[in-house]
Amino acid sequence: MGVFHEVTDQEKTSDELAVGLIDLAPQQRNLLLMRPLFQLELTKNMFSDGGGGSLFDGIDTNYLSLVALAYMMEGTAVAMGYTLVEVQQYLAHIVAHMRPTLTVTQRNRISEIVLDALDNASNNYQEHSYEYFDSRTGKNREVRFRLTTYEPDLEDTYRYRPTAEGYLVLMGMLDLEVEDHQILVERMLQLLIERGRFDQAYEFARRARMLSIEHRQLLRDFITQAWRAPGSVIWARDIGPRLREARTHIRDRQEEDRRMEESVREQLTKVDDIRAREQLVRLHEVLKSASTLRAQLQFEVSGAGEKFMDAQATAFRARKFTGLPDFEARLLPATLRIRSDRLAQGADAILLSLYPAAVPKTPDLSQILAVLLERRTLEKNFDNDVPGEVVPFKMYPDPFPNDIAEFVHHWLKSKFSLGASWRLDELLDAAEDEGLAVLECQCIAYALYRSFPDSESLFPNMHAHQDGVFVSNIAQGDNLRFDPRESK
Amino acid sequence: MMASCREASRLLYKALHLGLSPANDSEYRELLGKYRADGHFSAAVQEAAAGLELVILDVSERGLIVAPASRDSRFSLRLSDLRQNLSGEQKIALVLAHLAISAVFFPTTDRLEEDSKIPLPATISRFRDTLLSLVSRLANEETQTESAEELLPGWELLRRLPPVNPKAERASTNSVEGFVKLALKQMVEYNLVRLERESEDETQALYTATYRLRVHLRELTLPHLFELTRHSVEL
């Protein structure tokens, strides 16, 4: 959930400073939420198609971004979202409509870039973060948000969903309350069923069945937790509301199932087409299996109280007195509440207290470099009488600034994304032809050498081999050939 | 006397070998028996340990568990042994991942102290979800305020991280799951956690805590954590 700051009473005292300014916070929010989309549209021409043209020629990135979010929203209706592969394939399919001449690799590359932009991949998947002027307080503030979440479902399959902010982008400037998306999803499904789309009806029934499993799982989780850590689960807070939800779910679904079963039976008498009949039989089976599940859920709902009491009983036995609070329920939350600066101070001690005495390892080359570059703090009780020489600490500036390193990484990634093999000297020639600066070419050579071992490679889809030697005015030495890896 | 010194250092030598178990080593078993039966010998072992800047945390039929007496001890782990070039925020996330893993195995003090209560095996998703659900619970409980980075609570730093990096193939420091995997990998290497059931699909791999983790948490980490949390409340 992104943070658009509420103005506190204390802050309102500065209202006088901001007299005469109009409050445009909702409009600013809508604009900033769109910024990742605009950024992609602005920078899309940086991506080359490998033949001198732009990969994104004739591609509307705004449409692609919105359609990606819409597709993810659709995914939340039938499951808990769509997987990375499903979203990528769908986008690649849309790209093919926009520009049919693109190759499959290029379509996939475009869908990957669009998803990366929504995910803020260039910034390590951190939240999107922008500054804005807050007219209510007269100060510049920062807003942070995500447009998508990538989280596991109950079967631990990772799926994409739009976040609350993602829904806002999708609904554009309507400025609807975020909760309304649920209503949108339900209406969409209702429409599908009314149109006699049995495949979708099947998905809907499957989802309802999944919900029953979710309710069962949630109840079981709480009972297990009550058994693992007696006292950490409170009936009124944790189990009671779940039971109420489960009961409402059972009641609503039973009514819905009855209607659906009736309509399935009715359709079965009318329809002659074999395929349609098969779909209806499949739907009927899911409905039947769902009602069995709900009977089990009903059974667990009525037995939950007894199981909870059994688990709680284990809390009432004699224990050793140590004075330490429970770890999961008390100490861990308390640690998470500590301010970062204090937590950072204590971090080393906590971590090292957890590890056993170990015989020091032989350092590898990168460790030696890290030790050489480590700058130690001056000891407070420094003894001036000890003979020795004070040598100034020499700073070695990073030869490649971050923006150059990032640009080079993207440049190389776009070359490798085309699916062909490249040699180091060919890439340096291509860089010179495209007018890259000397420093950028040096950075290319460095990045490629660094990527020689697979364990350190910046390009996990490529594998490097030594291939003769090369000489150029940037670097010389063993030449490297990068081949695409066989996909699994 | 000479023999006693030799045996005392021999026992410490065995204790420093993380993969060694008295069950498979008769000399280790005999030395442990002597430690428990012979007061002079146990004093000699403790003296030798102190000389090496080690402290004895526990002795049982499972072995002698020693820890470095301080961070300056030659036997103390360096943070760079776990991961190099960690920023302050990454260090905090790594600590919290370690603690979440430990809390899944030993949720209550009761479970930590009763040696007969064997921790339940768990998967990576269990560790990750324990941490994520705690973060989201704290986020719901506490009002959001705009503060400087260093004043933010630990949960807020974790909330900013994505739960998982869609393209990460190995443990990385840019998602909550990445930190959990990183912590788990190190804990396995240092014999704090054992891979109970391997699986090609890493989400199905089951991990369990070793006795060593129980002892370290009980004797060092949790008392230290308790002091830290109490101190932070008092400040």
Judge contact between A7 and A137, C-beta under 8 A: yes
**Exposed / middle / buried, residue B83 (Cβ in 10 Å: 0-12, 13-18, 19+):** middle
| Chain A neighbors of B94, CB-CB under 8 A | 347, 351
* Predicted confidence (pLDDT) at residue A218 exceeds the cutoff of 80: no
Tell me, yes or no, if B12 comes closer than 8 A to chain A by beta carbon. Answer: no
Residue A37, SS3?
helix
| Chain A neighbors of B229, CB-CB under 8 A | 331, 334-335, 338
Nearest CA distance, A191 vs chain B (angstrom): 33
Instruction: Find residue A483's DSSP bridge partners.
Output: A463
Residue the block writes with tokens 């990538």? A150
Report the 3 state secondary structure along chain B: CHHHHHHHHHHHHHHHCCCCCHHHCHHHHHHHHHHHHCHHHHHHHHHHHHHCCEEEEEEECCEEEEEECCCCCCCCCCHHHHCCCCCHHHHHHHHHHHHHHHHHHCCCHHHHHCCCCCCCCECHHHHHHHHHHHHHHHHHHCCCCCCCHHHCEHHHHHHHCCCCCCCCCCCCCCCHHHHHHHHHHHHHHCCCEEEEECCCCHHHCEEEECHHHHHHHHHHHHHHHHHHHHHHHHC
Tell me, yes or no, if B221 comes closer than 8 A to chain A by beta carbon. Answer: yes
User: What is the average pLDDT score of chain A?
Assistant: 76
Nearest CA distance, B144 vs chain A (angstrom): 8
**Exposed / middle / buried, residue A335 (Cβ in 10 Å: 0-12, 13-18, 19+):** buried
Nearest CA distance, A339 vs chain B (angstrom): 4
The arithmetic mean of pLDDT across residues A459-478, rounded, is 87
The pLDDT confidence band at residue A9, using thresholds 50, 70 and 90, is very low
- B166 to A229: CB separation less than 8 angstroms, yes or no: no
What's the pLDDT at A321?
A: 52
* Predicted confidence (pLDDT) at residue B235 exceeds the cutoff of 90: no
* CA separation for the pair A426, A474 (Å, rounded): 13
Judge contact between A13 and A148, C-beta under 8 A: no
* CA separation for the pair B195, B210 (Å, rounded): 10
Comparing alpha-carbon positions, the chain A residue that sits nearest to B154 is: A336
What's the pLDDT at A365?
A: 57
The arithmetic mean of pLDDT across residues A61-65, rounded, is 93
Higher-scoring residue by pLDDT: A385, A157: A157
- B222 to A3: CB separation less than 8 angstroms, yes or no: no
Nearest CA distance, B1 vs chain A (angstrom): 26
* Predicted confidence (pLDDT) at residue A240 exceeds the cutoff of 90: no
Judge contact between A197 and A267, C-beta under 8 A: no
**Exposed / middle / buried, residue B158 (Cβ in 10 Å: 0-12, 13-18, 19+):** buried
Nearest to B224 among A115, A342, A350 (CB): A350
What's the pLDDT at A392?
A: 72
Amino acid in the structure at residue A400: F
What's the pLDDT at A87?
A: 93
| Chain B neighbors of A157, CB-CB under 8 A | none
Pairing label, strands A462-471, A476-484: antiparallel
- A354 to B220: CB separation less than 8 angstroms, yes or no: yes
The arithmetic mean of pLDDT across residues A163-171, rounded, is 79
* Predicted confidence (pLDDT) at residue A241 exceeds the cutoff of 90: no
Cβ contacts from A onto B, under 8 A:
236
Could you tell me which residues come within 8 angstroms of residue A459 by beta carbon, excluding any fewer than 6 positions away? A412, A413, A416, A451, A482
Could you tell me which residues come within 8 angstroms of residue A285 by beta carbon, excluding any fewer than 6 positions away? none
Q: How many residues does chain B have?
A: 235
Amino acid in the structure at residue B28: Y
Judge contact between A337 and B231, C-beta under 8 A: no
Q: Which DSSP letter does residue A196 get?
A: T
What does the CA dihedral A229, A230, A232, A234 come to, rounded to 10 degrees? 150
Comparing alpha-carbon positions, the chain A residue that sits nearest to B103 is: A328
| Chain A neighbors of B65, CB-CB under 8 A | 356
Nearest to A325 among B82, B109, B144 (CB): B109
Nearest to A356 among B169, B190, B223 (CB): B190
Which stretch of A94-103, A173-182, A357-366 has the lowest confidence by average pLDDT?
Answer: A173-182
Tell me, yes or no, if A338 comes closer than 8 A to chain B by beta carbon. Answer: yes
- A341 to B216: CB separation less than 8 angstroms, yes or no: no
Tell me, yes or no, if B71 comes closer than 8 A to chain A by beta carbon. Answer: yes
Tell me, yes or no, if A150 comes closer than 8 A to chain B by beta carbon. Answer: yes
Tell me, yes or no, if B203 comes closer than 8 A to chain A by beta carbon. Answer: yes
* CA separation for the pair B194, A228 (Å, rounded): 20
Nearest CA distance, B145 vs chain A (angstrom): 8
- B92 to A340: CB separation less than 8 angstroms, yes or no: yes
User: What is the end-to-end Cα distance of chain B in Å, rounded?
Assistant: 52
Higher-scoring residue by pLDDT: A38, A322: A38
Report pLDDT digits (tens) over B69-106. 988 888 888 777 777 778 888 889 999 999 999 999 99
Nearest to B221 among A232, A344, A354 (CB): A354
What's the pLDDT at B215?
A: 92
Report pLDDT digits (tens) over A295-316. 776 777 777 667 666 666 655 5
Secondary element (H or E) of residue A144: strand A139-145
The arithmetic mean of pLDDT across residues A8-16, rounded, is 46
- B216 to A5: CB separation less than 8 angstroms, yes or no: no
Nearest CA distance, B164 vs chain A (angstrom): 7
- B154 to A328: CB separation less than 8 angstroms, yes or no: no
Q: Which DSSP letter does residue A479 get?
A: E
Report pLDDT digits (tens) over B6-57. 999 999 999 999 888 898 899 999 999 899 888 899 999 999 999 999 999 9
Report pLDDT digits (tens) over A114-164. 999 999 988 888 889 998 888 878 888 888 899 998 887 767 778 898 887
Q: At what angle do helices B88-105 and B124-141 cross, to 10 degrees?
A: 110
* CA separation for the pair A282, A98 (Å, rounded): 36
Nearest CA distance, A11 vs chain B (angstrom): 12
The pLDDT confidence band at residue A186, using thresholds 50, 70 and 90, is very low
Window 407-466 of A: residues touching B by CB (8 A cutoff) are 460
* CA separation for the pair B116, A337 (Å, rounded): 32
**Closest CA relative to residue A213, chosen from A332, A79, A104:** A79
Tell me, yes or no, if B226 comes closer than 8 A to chain A by beta carbon. Answer: yes
- Note if the pTM is more than 0.80: no
* CA separation for the pair B148, B139 (Å, rounded): 17
What's the pLDDT at A204?
A: 60
- B152 to A324: CB separation less than 8 angstroms, yes or no: no
What's the pLDDT at A384?
A: 59
Nearest CA distance, B24 vs chain A (angstrom): 21
The arithmetic mean of pLDDT across residues A458-477, rounded, is 87
Distance of CA B37 to the CA centre of its chain: 30
Report pLDDT digits (tens) over A332-348. 999 988 888 888 888 88
Tell me, yes or no, if B166 comes closer than 8 A to chain A by beta carbon. Answer: yes
Report pLDDT digits (tens) over A390-411. 677 677 777 788 888 889 999 9
Note the ipTM here.
Answer: 0.91
Structure tokens belonging to residue B200: 């090609």
Residue the block writes with tokens 């260090």? B91
Could you tell me which residues come within 8 angstroms of residue B184 by beta carbon, excluding any fewer than 6 positions away? B101, B124, B127, B171, B193, B207
Report pLDDT digits (tens) over B105-158. 998 888 888 877 788 889 888 899 889 888 888 887 776 565 666 678 888 888
Window 316-335 of A: residues touching B by CB (8 A cutoff) are 319-320, 322, 324-329, 331-335
Window 212-241 of A: residues touching B by CB (8 A cutoff) are 228-230, 232
* CA separation for the pair A322, A353 (Å, rounded): 19
**Closest CA relative to residue A349, chosen from B184, B65, B231:** B231
Secondary element (H or E) of residue A91: helix A84-98
Nearest to B225 among A158, A335, A344 (CB): A335
Judge contact between B105 and B184, C-beta under 8 A: no
Task: Please give the C-alpha separations between residue A455 and each of A195, A461, B220, in angstroms, as whole numbers.
Answer: 53, 12, 35
Structure tokens belonging to residue B155: 């949960």
The arithmetic mean of pLDDT across residues A455-483, rounded, is 86
Q: What is the CA radius of gyration of chain B?
A: 20
Percent of chain A at pLDDT exceeding 90 = 18
Judge contact between B151 and B131, C-beta under 8 A: no
Comparing alpha-carbon positions, the chain A residue that sits nearest to B87 is: A344
- A149 to B98: CB separation less than 8 angstroms, yes or no: no
* CA separation for the pair A126, B173 (Å, rounded): 11
Comparing alpha-carbon positions, the chain B residue that sits nearest to A337 is: B153
Q: Give the start-end residues of each E strand in A397-475.
A: 422-423, 462-471
Amino acid in the structure at residue A352: L
Residue A131, SS3?
strand
Nearest to A127 among B89, B94, B160 (CB): B160
Tell me, yes or no, if B116 comes closer than 8 A to chain A by beta carbon. Answer: no
Indicate which of B78, B89, B102, B159 best probes the interface with A, i.e. most A CBs within 10 Å of its own CB: B78
Could you tell me which residues come within 8 angstroms of residue A333 by beta carbon, excluding any fewer than 6 positions away? B134, B137, B138
| Chain A neighbors of B76, CB-CB under 8 A | 352, 357
